[in-house]
Structures are given as C-alpha cells and as structure tokens.
Chain A
Amino acid sequence: MADQIEWVSLSIFIFFFALVTVMGFFAARWKAGPVNEHLDEWGLGGRQFGTWITWFLVGGDFYTAYTVIAVPALVYAVGAYGFFALPYTIIVYPFVFAVMPVLWKQAHANGHVTAADVVHGNYHSRALELAVAITGMVATMPYIALQLIGMGVVIKAMGLTGELPIIAAFIILALYTYSSGLRAPALIAFVKDIMIYIVVLVAVVVVPAKLGGYSAVFAAANDAFTAKGGATGLILKPAQMLPYATLAFGSALAAFMYPHTLTGIFASKSADTIRKNAILLPAYTLLLGLIALLGYMAYAANIKVATPNDVVPMLFKALFPSWFAGFAFAAIAIGALVPAAVMSIGAANLFTRNVWKSYVNPSISHAGEAAVAKIASLVVKGGALAFILFLPTQYAIDLQLLGGLWILQTFPALVFGLFTRWFRAEGLLLGWASGILWGSWTAWSNGLKPLATIDLGGASYVFYVGLGALILNIAVAAVVTVIVGLISPHRTSVTARS
C-alpha cells in the first residue's frame, strides 16, 4: 500500500468529516427535547423517530462500515460463501415485522429503554435481567472496535499512518455523542447513508463498465478461484450449503438482539413505524449485495492486496479519480461513526438501567440516569479504543464473532416472553448459560471458527455454532421450566407482574 499522502482525497475526506462533526454537536437542538433531564431524551432521542428517520438510523447502524470493508473482503477471499450476508439481511425482515412491533408496544407501555428492562418486566428476575444486560454490553464492545478497524483501513489508504487520526476521530465522536445522545447519530445517518448510496451506485455502474461488464467480472473471479482451489468458487461446495444456510438464519435471529439495533426499535415513534421499516429497510440489503460484488470486481481489476480488508479501498483508489475516492473513504469512515455512536449509547443504556439502577442506586432520578449513561458511553468508547490500540486486531474480530453467538443466547429470554408466559426465569437463565458455555467452548476448540459438527447416523453435519447453542438453550429452558413447575407450581415471581 502506497504511503504517499493523497492530498485531494484527504481534503475531501476532512471536509465531510468536519461537516458531520458540526452536525453531531448541533443535533442536541434537533427535534429539541431536554437531553440532560431524561434518559428517554439522551438515550432514545425522545422516542419520536418516524418512518424516515428510523429508516436512516437503523440502516445506518445495522449496515456498518465494517460490513462495507469485511463483506467484500470475505467474498474476495472465498467467493460464494461470503455471500451469506445477503440471505441473512433479507430473512431478518419478516422476523422484524412480526416480532419487533410487539416488543415496541411492551417497551412503550412500561417505559422500558433496554432489552434487559423488557426481560425484567416479564419475569421479575434480577439475575436474568443482569445476564441479558451483560451479554449485550460484552457483545457490543468488540463490535465498536471493528468499526474503528473499518475506519483505520480507509485512513491508511489515504496514506496517513499511525494511530493518531483514529484517536482524534474517536474523541470527536465521543464528545458529540456525550452532548447530543442518539440525536447525533440519527442526524449524521442521513449524510452517511446518502453518501454510501451514491458511492455504491456509482461503483456498480462505473466499475463493471471499465472492466468489461458483469460477465467479465464473474469470469475473472471464477478463474482466480479455479487457480486458488480449496473451498472457494462462484457457487457453494456441497459441504458449504448447511453452514451457509445456518449462518444466515442464526445471524438473522441474532441481528435485532444487539443493543444498537434494539435502540433503533425503542426510539421509534410507533409500532407502525417499525412495520413500515421492515418493508423499506431491505433497500439497504440490495446495496449490501452490490457491495459484496466489489470483492469480485477486484479480480477483474487485477487488484493485489496483502490483506483482504484492503480490497475495497484499493479498488476505489485504482478505478476512481482521487476526489471521488476521498468521497468514498469519507462515506465509509462516517459509516463507522454512526454505528459506533449507537452501539455505545445502547451499551450505556444497559449499564445505566440494568446495572447502575438495579444494583447501585435504585432511586436514581431521570436526570441522574441521563448523567450516568453519558459517562458510561465515554467509558465504553474508551474501552473499544484501548482494545484496538493495545490488542492485536484479530482479537476484536474473534470476539465479535463470539459476540454474535453470545447475543443470540438472549433470544429466548427476550422474544419468548413477548408471546407466552410459559417459560420460567430459572429455565431461561440456565438455557442462556448452557448455550453460551457450549457455544464458546465449541467455537474455541474449532480454532474460533463459527462452525460445529455433529455425527448423525454415519453422516456428519457442519452448521453455525450459534444456532446449535440456541437449540440447546431452548431445550434446557424448556426442561428446567417443566422441572421447576413440578417443584413449585405457583410462580410467585411471575404472577406478581404488573
């Protein structure tokens, strides 16, 4: 990678970065509410975001900068298998449509701010609440770190070396998130998403035109995979089909268990806002599918990279004039800011509501909650930054992968309670623990690959470990619920629910 500083790119980049910084600080006054007086204001933007703001916000924090870097990188490295992100981000929406409005209604009726609030509201179990809250916070931290990695990749592509630019960008982000809360990423998401749409639409038209059309792009990738061999190619090997489908399904179930995606749900104005978004958000999935193809375009453009993560920036540098490359890099870096901000807000809300309020100061005022959450968001971001500065990059990637498996284990506690009171808190807690322990152990012993193998009737099946852990989780929850029901038929805690 060239170490020459690309001044034109860099100027464009800095211009847009400065623009969103001003917007971030200004956002506190947008759709004005008393940001410092209530956690609903700082942490959920006043629970007033309508269809379009929610569309930009959730689109902006679900399809992260790391996605724009990592999905094409995986597609470049292995081909069809890397495409599981596409079915994953399609089948997530029927689920969002069916489940998230129910969750919203419950949260809205009871003033809940986090997933763990909802779980406590349904089961009145402090232990289960804490389990859900800690899982959310732990799964989010490496995810924020990955956004920094995404930003670092494009900053490096412009010839800036060292960690100072990332630290500066992150301090700015931390400050306006501190002062404006969720309104800052919601406002910046408009800029980020429009920029990303422009970049991708230009890329998917201009790049194939320069490279001889999509047939040539796929043919070049096919030649490369044929030469490379192994489990790569334009379609899946038979042994990859089950991993592909289970990764897509498990990821789809996990996607809206994360604090950052749920924050977008809780911040919506109405249940109908969420339903309309389930119809409209797939537009981003189309974009993601096209972004993934950048991995193949790199072969047609004869891009050679040291690490697959450099594929997208190198492709843009090779094929676009430097001003447009700078615009594209700014889009990706701003694309890192929005999810990083929402993630830190989601984690801060969890800490405030389900750790601080539950264990330290139960009589905290609304203004006190907002103050604690603001400090917590700084701590969370500082932690993510330290992660990147002091630990190998691979740790963040591995932990994010484990984070997906962990967050999926909160699914039964959060989702089942919306539809049935049958499960007992004890069962859900033991199920959660079993899923996390078995899943982590299996992934660990496979060299941190997210796949597990079982042998049934002589054949062996390979599947996404998170989904296997979820099945175990549900089975344990059901069995323990039955056993607890036999021991104490009267559910003292749950019948007391408000």
Chain B
Amino acid sequence: MWMLLLVPYIGLLWVPFYNFTEPSLFGFPFFYWYQLAWVPITSLLIWLAYRSRTPDEAR
C-alpha cells in the first residue's frame, strides 16, 4: 500500500501527461482541472495508506 504514495509524484511530475488545454471542464483548461483533481486524489491515496498500516505502527 505504501506504493500508493508514489502515484501523485508520477501523475504530477511527468508534465507531458497534462500540458494541454483540451478537454476543458467547467471552463477550466485540462492543465488546470487535472492538477486540481490531484488534490482530493492525493488525500484519498494517503488515507488508504493510513488505513492499511499494521496496528503496531499506530501511535
């Protein structure tokens, strides 16, 4: 599950994934809504990693 923490780095640091204007969403070019979408996705991924910890790590 710790591998989940690496996913945002791939999604955001490989800029060719998202350096476009189309498709736009609610008037936001792709470049903008794609990166904004990573905010809740990253929270979710960290939460999943948090949930999957073994009990002896919990403190």
Given contacts A90-B39, A272-B59, contact A213 B8 (CB under 8 A): no
Instruction: Return the CB mask of A209-247 against B: 1 if under 8 Å, else 0.
Output: 000011111100000000000000011100001101100
Give A34 Cβ to nearest chain B Cβ, in Å.
Answer: 27
Q: Is the CB of B39 within 8 A of A235?
A: no
Q: Is A205 an interface residue (CB 8 A)?
A: no
Q: Is A275 an interface residue (CB 8 A)?
A: yes
* Cβ–Cβ < 8 Å partners of A279 in chain B: 43, 46-47, 50
* Cβ–Cβ < 8 Å partners of A83 in chain B: 31-32, 35
In the complex, which residues 21-43 of chain B have their Cβ closer than 8 Å to any Cβ of chain A? 21, 24, 26-29, 31-32, 35-36, 38-40, 42-43
Query: Which listed residue, B9, B16, B40, B58, touches A91 by the CB 8 Å rule?
Result: B9
CA A498 – CA B22 in complex, angstroms?
Answer: 58
Instruction: Return the CB mask of A189-223 against B: 1 if under 8 Å, else 0.
Output: 00000000000000000001000011111100000
* Cβ–Cβ < 8 Å partners of B47 in chain A: 279
Query: Which listed residue, B9, B31, B39, touches A94 by the CB 8 Å rule?
Result: B9
- Tell me the nearest residue of chain B to A86, going by C-beta: B35
- Tell me the nearest residue of chain B to A95, going by C-beta: B5
Q: Is the CB of B39 within 8 A of A244?
A: no
Q: Is the CB of A285 within 8 A of B39?
A: yes
Query: Which listed residue, B9, B39, B50, B59, touches A286 by the CB 8 Å rule?
Result: B39
* Cβ–Cβ < 8 Å partners of A158 in chain B: none
Chain A CB within 10 Å, residue with most, of B6, B36, B39, B59: B39
CA A83 – CA B38 in complex, angstroms?
Answer: 14
Q: Count residues of chain B with CB under 8 A from any CB of chain A.
A: 34
Q: Is A125 an interface residue (CB 8 A)?
A: no
Query: Which listed residue, A98, A214, A289, touches B35 by the CB 8 Å rule?
Result: A289
- Tell me the nearest residue of chain A to B12, going by C-beta: A87
Given contacts A97-B50, A215-B27, contact A282 B19 (CB under 8 A): no
Given contacts A83-B32, A241-B15, A282-B43, contact A234 B5 (CB under 8 A): no
Given contacts A87-B13, A93-B42, A94-B5, 13 further A-B contacts (CB under 8 A): A83-B31, A90-B38, A93-B46, A94-B42, A97-B50, A213-B27, A214-B28, A218-B29, A235-B20, A245-B12, A245-B13, A278-B50, A283-B43
Name B's A-contacting residues (CB within 8 A): 2, 5-6, 8-9, 12-16, 19-21, 24, 26-29, 31-32, 35-36, 38-40, 42-43, 45-47, 49-50, 58-59
- 23 residue pairs from A and B, CB less than 8 Å apart: A80-B31, A90-B8, A90-B12, A91-B8, A91-B13, A94-B5, A94-B6, A97-B46, A97-B50, A214-B28, A218-B27, A218-B28, A218-B29, A218-B32, A235-B19, A244-B15, A245-B13, A272-B59, A276-B50, A278-B50, A279-B46, A285-B39, A289-B36
Name A's B-contacting residues (CB within 8 A): 80, 83, 86-87, 90-91, 93-94, 97-98, 208, 213-218, 234-236, 241-242, 244-245, 248-249, 270-272, 275-276, 278-280, 282-283, 285-286, 289, 293
